[in-house]
Structure 1
Amino acid sequence: MAQHNETGKQGEAEAVRYLQEKGYEVLARNYRYQHAEIDLVAKKGKLLIFVEVKTRSNLSYGNPEEFVSYTKAKLVMRAAEHYVFANDWFHDVRFDIIAITLAGNEWRVKHIEDAFC
């Protein structure tokens, strides 16, 4: 497996740990619908959160959250709509980004709530 894929998996695992530590229940990982994928689906109370996780091992090309494009956001929203209907969700939803950087041997997590809608 390519190093960037391994870094991404580690970042996603760190995002799950972070969310659980903050009291979120992670319902799904890598939820797919057609050409779209949602990295994490989480729940906190009556709020359903769709999370895009971006991980970088260095910031040479910019911060991780800067790599969530308009097109990617639209794909996530389309998959989220499918998830909501497939699971009969009748409460609020939110779209977040969790940006993770590896600084030495330490993961740094930046949680951006309501990142796009």
Structure 2
Amino acid sequence: MAEHNDLGKWGEEYAAVYLQKQGYVILDRDWRYGRSKSDIDIICKTPDMRTVVFVEVKTRATEQILAPEDAVNVQKVRHIGRAAHNYVQMYDVVEELRFDILTIIGRKGSDDIQINHIENAFNPLLV
């Protein structure tokens, strides 16, 4: 597996642990509908169990020219929106919905890992 894939998988695991420590309940990870290319990194419920959150995780080894959250472009938002729509239909979700971005800058084993949880980062209906 390519190094960037390893970093991404580690970042998603780190994000899931972070969310659980914040009281979120993980429902699914790397969720994909059928053979679709649209996937959702983490699907969870808020600590009060009132909102289903679709989380896009972006991991970078270092802070580069482009901020990790800037990599969530219009095309990616549309893909997440389609996947979320399928998830809501498949599981009859009635809770509020929210779309977050969770960025991680650092590497496995590092003492200097930066995490930024951006709640309500985007609305796929508006793109």
TM over 0.5: yes
Which moves more between the two structures, 93-102 or 55-64? 55-64
Q: Which residue of 2 aligns with 1:65?
A: 69
CA distance in 2, matches of 1:90, 1:41: 14
Within 5 Å, give how 1:99-114 maps onto structure 2.
99-102=103-106, 105=110, 106-114=112-120
Q: 1:56 aligns with which of 49, 56, 60?
A: 60
Shift >2 Å, 4+ stretches:
none
1:15-34 alignment to 2 at 5 Å? 15-33=15-33, 34=36
How many residue pairs match? The answer is 117
Question: Could you say what secondary structure the match of 2:75 adopts?
Answer: helix
Candidates 90, 95, 102, aligned match of 2:99: 95
Aligned to 2:11: 11
Provide the C-alpha distance between the structure 2 equivalents of 1:107 and 1:17, rounded to a whole number of angstroms: 14
The structural deviation recorded for 1:56 is: 0.2
5+ residue gaps in structure 2? none
What's the TM-score, normalizing by structure 1?
A: 0.95
Residues 9-62 of structure 1: CA deviation (Å, up to 9, x unaligned): 111011001100000001101001222000000012120000000000012232
What are structure 1's unaligned runs of at least 5 residues? none
> Identity across aligned pairs (percent)?
42
CA-atom RMSD in angstroms: 1.3
